[in-house]
């Protein structure tokens, strides 16, 4: 048996979209089960996201603290954002988010990991990049709005982040997944063996 996620699509008898929001929507599908029964499945339709684990020369990760209304908490996170344009190159989106949220640029980019955030109720796919060789971006800072006007910043050593997330003090999925993937990559074949930044992404195909 090969341990690998594979594409599959069960028959859909009917579908509707009862809610359409600014960036996402909710879809209801009537799906045929293996036993022949038909059940309704509601899920959020999401354009996809990118996130950036930016690692500086002192082995610290760039973090942003942001208010997240659905969970009523301020969460420490890594820079991230939506794939606003269908077919957008995820690397370009990640570079944009790192600039807009932190006014930072990076010379070395790798794919750290890909994930589905909540596959039981949302089709959001996220690609997490590792960015190294950091420096301050050129030009003026991006004009922020809404929650982003209240951002806080920190650079935290990797070892300290591991301790904090295992203690239950950090909860953002991209931060937790990114940090643990970084540690795993280091103990495996090393960071330079990670996939290139333009590696294919079947969950969100893109133009080069």
What CATH number is associated with residue 116? 3.90.79.10
Quick check: is 6 in a domain? no
Quick check: is 1 in a domain? no
Q: Which of 148, 152, 160, 207 is catalytic?
A: 148
Residue 37 lies in domain = 12-45
Residues 69 and 169 both lie in one domain: yes
Residues 21 and 67 both lie in one domain: no
What's the total number of domains in the chain?
Answer: 2
pLDDT digits (tens, 9 = 90+) for 72-104: 999 999 999 999 888 889 999 999 999 999 999
- pTM across the whole model: 0.94
Residues 23 and 56 both lie in one domain: no
Residues 180 and 91 both lie in one domain: yes
Residues 40 and 118 both lie in one domain: no
45: Cβ contacts below 8 Å, ≥ 6 apart: 17, 24, 25, 26, 27, 123
pLDDT digits (tens, 9 = 90+) for 19-29: 999 889 999 99
Residues 19 and 82 both lie in one domain: no
Residues 79 and 181 both lie in one domain: yes
Ranges of beta strands (E only) in 33-124 are 38-45, 49-54, 60-68, 73-77, 80-82, 104-116
Q: What is the mean pLDDT of residues 48-66?
A: 98
Token pair belonging to 155:
């650079």
Residues 30 and 64 both lie in one domain: no
Residues 40 and 57 both lie in one domain: no
What pLDDT does 56 receive?
Answer: 98
Residues 36 and 101 both lie in one domain: no
In terms of C-beta density within 10 A (0-12 exposed, 13-18 middle, 19 or more buried), how is residue 48 classed?
buried
8 annotated active-site: no
When computed from its CA atoms, the radius of gyration of the chain, rounded to whole angstroms, is 19
Quick check: is 137 in a domain? yes
Q: Is the pLDDT of residue 188 over 90?
A: yes
CA gap 207, 41 in Å, rounded: 31
- Rounded to the nearest integer, the mean pLDDT of the chain is 94
Per-residue burial over 193-202, b if 16 or more Cβ lie within 10 Å, else e, is ebbebeeebe
Residues 106 and 88 both lie in one domain: yes
Residues 33 and 107 both lie in one domain: no
Q: Is the pLDDT of residue 151 over 80?
A: yes
């Amino acid at each position: 048996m090969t341990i690998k996620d594979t594409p599959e699509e069960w028959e859909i008898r009917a579908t509707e979209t009862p809610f359409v929001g600014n960036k996402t929507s909710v879809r209801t599908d009537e799906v045929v089960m293996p036993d022949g029964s038909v059940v309704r499945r509601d899920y959020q339709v999401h354009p996809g996201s990118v996130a950036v684990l930016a690692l500086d020369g002192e082995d610290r990760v760039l973090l942003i603290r942001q208010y997240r209304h659905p969970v009523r908490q301020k969460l420490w996170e890594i820079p991230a954002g939506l794939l606003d344009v269908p077919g957008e190159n995820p690397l370009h989106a990640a570079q944009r988010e790192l600039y807009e949220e932190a006014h930072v640029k990076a010379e070395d980019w790798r794919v750290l990991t890909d994930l589905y955030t909540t596959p039981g109720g949302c089709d959001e796919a996220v690609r997490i990049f590792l960015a190294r060789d950091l420096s301050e971006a050129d030009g003026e800072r991006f004009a922020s709005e809404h929650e982003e006007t209240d951002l806080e910043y920190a650079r935290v050593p990797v070892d300290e982040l591991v301790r904090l997330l295992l203690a239950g003090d950090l909860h953002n999925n991209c931060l937790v997944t990114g940090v643990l993937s970084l540690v795993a990559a280091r103990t495996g074949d090393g960071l330079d063996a990670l996939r290139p930044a333009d590696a294919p992404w079947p969950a969100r195909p893109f133009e080069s």
